[in-house]
Structure 1
Amino acid sequence: MTGGLRRAGAWAHRLRPRGLRTRLLVAFVLVTVVGAAAAAWAAAGSAGTALVDGAQERLTGTVADRVAALAPELDYPPDEEGLDRLRAAVGPNTLVTYEDLRSADADAPGPGIGPVRDAVRERDRISVRRITDDGAPKLLIGMPVMLTDTDGARTPSGIEVYTVRDLSGVEGQIDVLTRSAVAASALALPLAVLLALLAARGVLRPVRDLRDTARRLADGDLGARTVPQGADELAALTATVNEMAASLQESMAQMERMRADARRFASDVSHELRTPLSTLTAVVDVLASAADRMEADDRESVELAVTETRRLVALVEELMEVSRFDAGSAALRLEEVDAAEAVRDCLRARGWTDRVAVEADGPVGLLADRRRLDVIVANLVGNALRHGAPPVRVRVAGDGDGGEGTGGGEVRIEVADEGPGLPEDVLPHVFDRFYKGDAARTRTPGSGLGLAIALENARLHGGDLVAENTEGGARFVLRLPRDPGGDRDGGHGVGHPGGHADGPGHGEEER
């Protein structure tokens, strides 16, 4: 039974009007039609009651007049003949009684006169009752014949008259009124629909305008506005939405200005620092070459200066690379690359071959910018070595056409480690710029830009880079199309080098 109720509730929910326009139309039509029907039925009921009351009064008056016209001519106490004369004067379907005497025709009232007779004898006045006889509406009239004394006092004579009158004609008139009420209700339906359409159009037009404005705002058109119409609640809502949009536009413009200023500042500072850093690098290299001849304390200071200088140079280079991405000036120099061999070259250049295992089923060809691919792999592997735990594995695989040549499909490079994995609060931000999962470890090597640059380089190739946790640690998955040049302007050899690929990569997002 519970299942049946649930199914019935589900069907009712499905049949319920969903759109605001539909609900308005249905509600307006229902209210109008129900109101028209109620008014028509009330009018028909009142008219029917008036018809019945009028017919009852007319028939009762006619019978009373006939009885009053013959009553003075009767002898009291009356005999059978007098009762017959009175019955004939009243008309058919009549019964006249006096104590044990009765005068009745074939259609005289039968046993059903009991309540009317009791009322006549108790009140000494006319009593009527509506009855149904053979499916037809009838009016049963009962009245006593009263005697008037010389002093004007009226006393019952003991003669009682009971007669039945047909109300079929009145019933027919009531049926006509009922049909008229139904017709009036039916005629109200198209008018209600028309009025509902007009009302819904007037109500929903501002709502549609607000919807269109909200959609334009969601699509990035912060200048979208709706002109308020009228002075109702919808107009107030429109004005509020316009104010919200204006505030949002101003906030976004301010944020964009701040971002542009920040990008320009980073780019300008990076460029301004390149020349003095080049000089400083040359100086520390000279110091480094002479460090073996220095005292222990001096040698430690020189080594620290060399390390920090190189770290500063790497940071400046990364900032310049980021500024190229922001300015849209970063481009690819595509060439045919064996992804598996490119990964091995990256590891050999940084001395990681004994710490990282490379898995590949043979050459995996693709068109890529070798330098940028090296930057991506270096950042991912460096991040795994720094924050993960051995063994660190790099898996290179491709779909589509295999072999050394390029073809359709994509190349997949996975870098996995057996460390603790990425904390859940860090995982959504691992590619954010300058993000470090552990704020207390601010002196970790790197700038917090390594994974952000890796992601930008992946997207520059038309690919993507994602981070995820596995049962054994963290895994970074790089997907690159085999031929990104088919979807890009510029083709092979377009762009400029930019950036660097000399360091071990900077994957400093803490885990």
Structure 2
Amino acid sequence: MRRGSGPRKDAPNPRAPWKVWGGLRGRLLIGFVLVAVVSAVTATGLAYRESRNAVLERKQDAVRTDFRNRVDQAAADLAVPPDEVSLTRFATGIADGLGDTVVVAEYRTLRASSDASADRTRISRALRDAVRTHNRMSLQRVDRHGSPYLVVGTPVTFDSGTPSGLDVYAISSLRAEQDDTAGILDAVRDGLLPVLLLTVALALLAARTVLRPVRELGRATRRHAAGDLTSRVTVPKGRDELADLARDFNHTAEALETSVAELREQEAKARRFVADVSHELRTPLAAMTMVATVLDEDADRLPPDAAHAARTVSAETARLSRLVDDLMEMSRFDSGAARLNVGEVDLAGTVRNTLALRGWTERVRVELPDGIRAVVDPRRIDVVVANLVGNALRHGAEPVTVTLAASPGGDWVTVEVADRGPGLAPDVLPHVFDRFYKADSARTRSEGSGLGTAIGLENARLHGGTIEVANRPDGGAVFTLRMPWRRGEGAGG
């Protein structure tokens, strides 16, 4: 059976905000930004560390060089052991050439400073031990009250290299160097925002460049899904993966278009063949039916074998005639030539006429409320009801019940045909409306043409409805014709 198709009305908008920012574009943008942030933070940290180390090392080198020179010059004029006055003069003399550096001189228990108010606790025990133990210049950076300092200590030795017992320490502030490195950090941090903005712009540009072929592929795919098999995509320049993907898509689309065109041509030929054969069979069938009718009427006057043959010919001719009629009807559906000839009718009366015309009135229970009038094609409704009731009587078990009802909202009208037979096997239910489908593979013949349910479904679809099939909980199958309730002026229900 032919299935209608078209673009889905409930398809999500491919440009919805959640899809844009949660899709590939969003992931590319986030990836670019994360890489930029990590790179910027890493570069900032490395730049800050290297700059800080360079500034401190330059400061340390300058302080050590100047301090050593000043100590060597002042030590030549110092008498050992010194007294407090000479030791103070010694410390002050060294400090005079070192700017704002505070110099502390220690000789055993005697201590002197170039600045009496200076905090001598900035000289740690560890530094004193290092100077005295290793007998060489040592340094240490310390923090006092939030301010950084560089403390350099050196022992004073005699010309022979023997320690004199005099140790000298220089305490220099690192506030200026700290401010310099902080300025560098601030400058780098202030430059992060422009870098991030530039990164976002480049990411958007890159994402647009990368995603343009992908979006075009998506649009072409949706056009293919809607039935436009001629849709192609522009192949980007180059030999990258996107270009290969576009070429592969175009080749696949071309092969698909060719295959579908061939299949459609074959299907059209098959439909024309069925329609032509059915049409050509109608004329000889009419003659055969006329002859078979005459033979059937005279069968009682014929010998038994001839009478049986005459009745068999009559029955098979009638069956063949129904099959040809059904094939002609299906060919009209397939070609789109089937049309509705609608009129306002009483649905209960239409169903009763269908049952009476076929002599089923006494075999079928009905629940047909009066007053349900609708605009339908009465001939096609008659075909649907006749097919459903006929199937229930042939393949189900009596009693067969036909129920007419309208939905509570008044939008739909249903005709339900139920029987009390064994019902349908689960593997049969999906194929009930397939053409020529037989639930029993061993059954090669049936009283009908095998097209009844398919024709019924196509007639329901012409009315904008459908037919549903299910098994009753208490046994038996139930077919439900469901149609939109199109009411004429003054129709009630």
Aligned equivalent of 1:181, options 188, 194, 203 = 188
SS state at 2:106 partner = strand
Aligned equivalent of 1:389, options 389, 397, 401 = 397
Cross-structure match for 2:347:
339
Cross-structure match for 2:132:
121
Cross-structure match for 2:165:
158
Q: CA deviation at 1:483?
A: 4.0
Q: CA deviation at 1:439?
A: 2.0
Cross-structure match for 1:489:
none
**For each residue in 1:97-129, what CA deviation from the matched residue of structure 2 results, as whole angstroms up to 9, or x when unmatched?**
223332243315227521111111221110000
Cross-structure match for 2:362:
354
Amino acid at match of 1:218: A
Cross-structure match for 1:67:
71
Q: Structure 1: how far apart are the matches of 2:20 and 2:172?
A: 52
What is the TM-score normalised by the length of structure 1?
Answer: 0.85
Answer yes or no: is 1:470 the counterpart of 2:478: no
Amino acid at match of 1:342: T
**For each residue in 1:431-464, what CA deviation from the matched residue of structure 2 results, as whole angstroms up to 9, or x when unmatched?**
2222222222221222221111112222223333
Q: Structure 2: how far apart are the matches of 1:17 and 1:328?
A: 45
SS state at 1:31 partner = helix
Aligned equivalent of 1:293, options 293, 296, 301 = 301
Q: CA deviation at 1:19?
A: 2.2
**Greater mean deviation of Cα atoms: 64-73 or 341-350:** 341-350
Cross-structure match for 1:405:
none
1:71-470 correspondence runs (5 A): 71-91=75-95, 93-104=102-113, 105-110=116-121, 112-149=123-160, 154-229=161-236, 230-398=238-406, 409-470=411-472
Amino acid at match of 2:338: A
Q: Assess, with a 3 A threshold, how the Cα gap between structure 1 residues 137 and 232 changes in structure 2: closer, same or farther.
A: same
Amino acid at match of 1:176: G
Q: Structure 1: how far apart are the matches of 2:362 and 2:316?
A: 27
**Greater mean deviation of Cα atoms: 18-27 or 49-58:** 18-27
Amino acid at match of 1:309: T
Amino acid at match of 2:109: D
Q: Which runs of 5+ in 2 are unaligned?
A: 1-17, 96-100
Amino acid at match of 2:235: P
Q: Structure 1: how far apart are the matches of 2:121 and 2:42?
A: 39
Contact 1:291/1:299 (CA < 8 Å) preserved in 2?
Answer: yes
Q: CA deviation at 1:296?
A: 3.1
Amino acid at match of 1:242: N
**Greater mean deviation of Cα atoms: 43-52 or 299-308:** 299-308
**Greater mean deviation of Cα atoms: 309-318 or 319-328:** 319-328
Contact 1:109/1:162 (CA < 8 Å) preserved in 2?
Answer: no
Contact 1:93/1:108 (CA < 8 Å) preserved in 2?
Answer: no
- Between Structure 1 and Structure 2, how many residues are aligned? 463
Answer yes or no: is 1:479 the counterpart of 2:482: yes
SS state at 2:233 partner = coil
Q: Assess, with a 3 A threshold, how the Cα gap between structure 1 residues 190 and 375 changes in structure 2: closer, same or farther.
A: same
Amino acid at match of 1:468: A
Q: CA deviation at 1:15?
A: 13
Q: CA deviation at 1:484?
A: 7.8
**For each residue in 1:329-359, what CA deviation from the matched residue of structure 2 results, as whole angstroms up to 9, or x when unmatched?**
2223333422212212221222212211111
Contact 1:274/1:316 (CA < 8 Å) preserved in 2?
Answer: yes
Q: CA deviation at 1:138?
A: 0.5
Q: Structure 2: how far apart are the matches of 1:375 and 1:304?
A: 26
Amino acid at match of 1:362: D
Q: Structure 1: how far apart are the matches of 2:119 and 2:340?
A: 115
Q: Structure 1: how far apart are the matches of 2:434 and 2:193?
A: 67
Q: Assess, with a 3 A threshold, how the Cα gap between structure 1 residues 461 and 97 changes in structure 2: closer, same or farther.
A: closer
Cross-structure match for 2:7:
none
**For each residue in 1:451-506, what CA deviation from the matched residue of structure 2 results, as whole angstroms up to 9, or x when unmatched?**
111122222233332222331322111233454899xxxxxxxxxxxxxxxxxxxx
Contact 2:56/2:177 (CA < 8 Å) preserved in 1?
Answer: yes
Q: Structure 2: how far apart are the matches of 1:396 and 1:112?
A: 106
Aligned equivalent of 2:61, options 20, 44, 57 = 57
Q: Structure 2: how far apart are the matches of 1:15 and 1:97?
A: 75
SS state at 1:447 partner = coil
Q: Structure 1: how far apart are the matches of 2:250 and 2:69?
A: 82
Q: Structure 1: how far apart are the matches of 2:338 and 2:28?
A: 55
Q: CA deviation at 1:198?
A: 1.0
Amino acid at match of 1:144: P
**Greater mean deviation of Cα atoms: 471-480 or 448-457:** 471-480
Contact 2:123/2:151 (CA < 8 Å) preserved in 1?
Answer: no
SS state at 1:110 partner = helix
SS state at 2:381 partner = helix
Quote the RMSD (CA, aligned, Å). Answer: 2.4
What is the TM-score normalised by the length of structure 2?
Answer: 0.88
Aligned equivalent of 1:19, options 23, 30, 34 = 23
Q: CA deviation at 1:191?
A: 1.1
Contact 2:423/2:472 (CA < 8 Å) preserved in 1?
Answer: yes
Q: Assess, with a 3 A threshold, how the Cα gap between structure 1 residues 17 and 411 changes in structure 2: closer, same or farther.
A: closer
Q: Structure 1: how far apart are the matches of 2:208 and 2:470?
A: 51
Q: Assess, with a 3 A threshold, how the Cα gap between structure 1 residues 252 and 16 changes in structure 2: closer, same or farther.
A: closer
Contact 1:94/1:109 (CA < 8 Å) preserved in 2?
Answer: no
Q: Structure 1: how far apart are the matches of 2:89 and 2:440?
A: 121
Q: Structure 2: how far apart are the matches of 1:204 and 1:294?
A: 84
Q: CA deviation at 1:259?
A: 1.0
Amino acid at match of 2:106: T
Q: Structure 2: how far apart are the matches of 1:300 and 1:289?
A: 12
Q: Assess, with a 3 A threshold, how the Cα gap between structure 1 residues 337 and 134 changes in structure 2: closer, same or farther.
A: closer
**For each residue in 1:381-410, what CA deviation from the matched residue of structure 2 results, as whole angstroms up to 9, or x when unmatched?**
001111212211001234699xxxxxx854
Q: Which runs of 5+ in 1 are unaligned?
A: 1-13, 402-407, 487-511
Q: Assess, with a 3 A threshold, how the Cα gap between structure 1 residues 395 and 254 changes in structure 2: closer, same or farther.
A: same
Contact 1:412/1:479 (CA < 8 Å) preserved in 2?
Answer: yes
Q: CA deviation at 1:37?
A: 3.1
Contact 2:20/2:26 (CA < 8 Å) preserved in 1?
Answer: no
Q: Structure 2: how far apart are the matches of 1:369 and 1:55?
A: 103
Contact 1:398/1:412 (CA < 8 Å) preserved in 2?
Answer: yes
Q: Assess, with a 3 A threshold, how the Cα gap between structure 1 residues 413 and 16 changes in structure 2: closer, same or farther.
A: closer
Q: CA deviation at 1:429?
A: 2.4
